[in-house]
Amino acid sequence: MMYERIAVTGAAGLIGSAVVRYLSQSNNVEVIAFDSPGAQDLVPGSQVLIEHVDVADPKMVEILESIQPQAVVHAAAHPGGKSLREPIEDVRVNALGSMQIFNWCEKARSHVVFLSSSSVYGEQTENKIPETAIPKPGTIYGACKVACEQWLRVFENGSGLSWTVLRPFATYGPGHRPSLDQGIVNILLTQLLNGDRITVKGSLMRRRDLTYVEDMASTIVQMLFCKAAIGRVFNIGSGVAVTINDIIKLLCDALNKPISGIKIIEEAGTVGDSFSNVADISQIKKILNFKPKFGLEAGLKELIEQRIVSKGKAIDLQ
- Are 217 and 21 a contacting pair, CB within 8 Å? yes
> Residue 189: enclosing H or E segment and its boundaries?
helix 184-193
Query: Which residues lie closer than 8 Å to 175 by C-beta, 6 or more apart?
Result: 13, 14, 15, 17, 18, 44, 213
Assign 6 a pLDDT band (cuts: 50, 70, 90). very high
What's the pLDDT tens digit per position in 211-253? 999 999 999 999 999 999 999 999 999 999 999 999 999 999 9
pLDDT, tens only, 120-172: 999 999 999 999 999 999 999 999 999 999 999 999 999 999 999 999 999 99
Among the listed residues 238, 229, 227, 306, the one whose alpha carbon sits nearest the alpha carbon of residue 277: 238
CATH topology for 5-171+209-236 is Rossmann fold (3.40.50)
Helix axes 244-255, 296-311, angle to 10 degrees: 50
Instruction: Let me know how many helices (H) and strands (E) the chain has, helices first.
Output: 10, 14
Between vectors from CA 255 to CA 249 and to CA 261, what angle results, nearest 5°? 60
Q: Which of 38, 42, 52 has its CA nearest to residue 21?
A: 42
For 18-40, write each residue's pLDDT tens digit: 999 999 987 789 999 999 999 99
List the chain domain ranges. 5-171+209-236, 176-208+240-275+294-311
Output the CA–CA distances (angstroms, integers) from residue 315 to 274, 276, 300, in the order listed: 35, 33, 15
* CATH code for the part of the protein at 176-208+240-275+294-311: 3.90.25.10
User: Do residues 31 and 23 touch, judged by C-beta distance below 8 A?
Assistant: yes
